[in-house]
C-alpha cells in the first residue's frame, strides 16, 4: 500500500505539486502572523475611545499649515450684533433736553425727518379726550408764514411726503424727502409745530372730518 501511494504521488503533474506547496506556505504564513493583543481587562471600551479622541486632539494642536491658510480649526465666539442691528441708531441729547436719534444708510439717497412727541391718547383725560388726534389734523392747516396751499406745494415741489399719526404713547409728525432736501423738511416740521395758526373756520370743518372717521371705524 505504501508503494502504491508513492507511485501516485510521483505520477502527479508539477502544477498540482506547486499549488499544494504554495497553499501550505500561505497557511504557514497566516498562522505565523501574531493575533492582535486583547485589551487589558482593566481597560473599558470607553477608555479606548477616549484615547482615540486624545490622539485626534493632539493632531489639532499641530495642524497642517495648508489648512491654516484659510481658517483656524478652533471654534471662536463672534459677535454679530453690529450686523443684525444695522443701521445703528445713535441717540444724542442736546443741552435743552431734546433727544435726536439718527440712522445713516450710505446706500440710500433719501431721508426721513420726524418728530416723536410723548403725548398720545393714554395721557388724555375726559375733558381732553381726542385732542392729540385733533391736533394731528389741524397741524397741516397753515402757519404764520405758510398757507395750506403753499405748504402742500412746497412739499410736492420737493417730491416729498408729509404725514402724521397718533398712537397711545406718541404723536408723530414726519416728512420723507431726498437727502439734499432734509434741511427744508426740518424747517417745515419746526414751522408747523411752533407756528400753526389754528383758524377757527378750519377747526369747525375738521371737526366734521374727524366725526366721519369715527363713524367709519365704528
Active site residues: 136, 206
131-138 and 200-217 helices cross at what angle (nearest 10)? 120
Cis, peptide link before residue 97, omega less than 30° from 0? no
Amino acid at each position: 500500500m505504501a508503494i502504491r501511494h508513492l507511485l501516485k504521488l510521483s505520477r502527479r503533474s508539477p502544477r498540482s505539486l506547486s499549488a499544494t506547496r504554495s497553499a501550505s506556505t500561505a497557511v504557514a504564513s497566516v498562522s505565523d502572523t501574531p493575533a492582535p493583543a486583547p485589551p487589558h481587562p482593566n481597560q473599558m471600551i470607553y477608555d479606548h475611545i477616549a484615547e482615540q479622541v486624545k490622539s485626534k486632539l493632539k493632531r489639532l494642536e499641530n495642524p497642517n499649515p495648508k489648512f491654516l491658510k484659510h481658517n483656524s480649526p478652533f471654534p471662536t465666539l463672534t459677535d454679530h450684533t453690529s450686523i443684525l442691528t444695522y443701521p445703528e441708531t445713535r441717540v444724542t441729547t442736546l443741552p435743552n433736553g431734546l433727544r435726536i436719534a439718527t440712522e445713516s444708510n450710505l446706500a440710500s439717497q433719501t431721508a426721513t425727518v420726524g418728530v416723536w412727541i410723548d403725548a398720545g391718547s393714554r395721557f388724555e383725560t375726559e375733558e381732553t379726550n381726542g385732542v392729540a388726534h385733533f391736533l394731528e389734523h389741524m397741524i397741516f392747516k397753515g402757519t404764520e408764514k405758510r398757507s395750506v396751499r403753499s405748504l402742500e406745494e412746497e412739499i410736492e415741489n420737493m417730491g416729498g411726503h408729509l404725514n402724521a399719526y397718533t398712537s397711545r404713547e406718541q404723536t408723530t409728525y414726519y416728512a420723507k424727502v431726498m437727502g439734499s432736501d432734509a434741511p427744508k423738511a426740518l424747517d417745515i416740521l419746526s414751522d408747523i409745530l411752533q407756528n400753526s395758526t389754528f383758524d377757527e373756520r378750519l377747526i369747525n370743518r375738521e371737526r366734521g372730518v374727524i366725526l366721519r372717521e369715527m363713524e367709519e371705524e365704528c
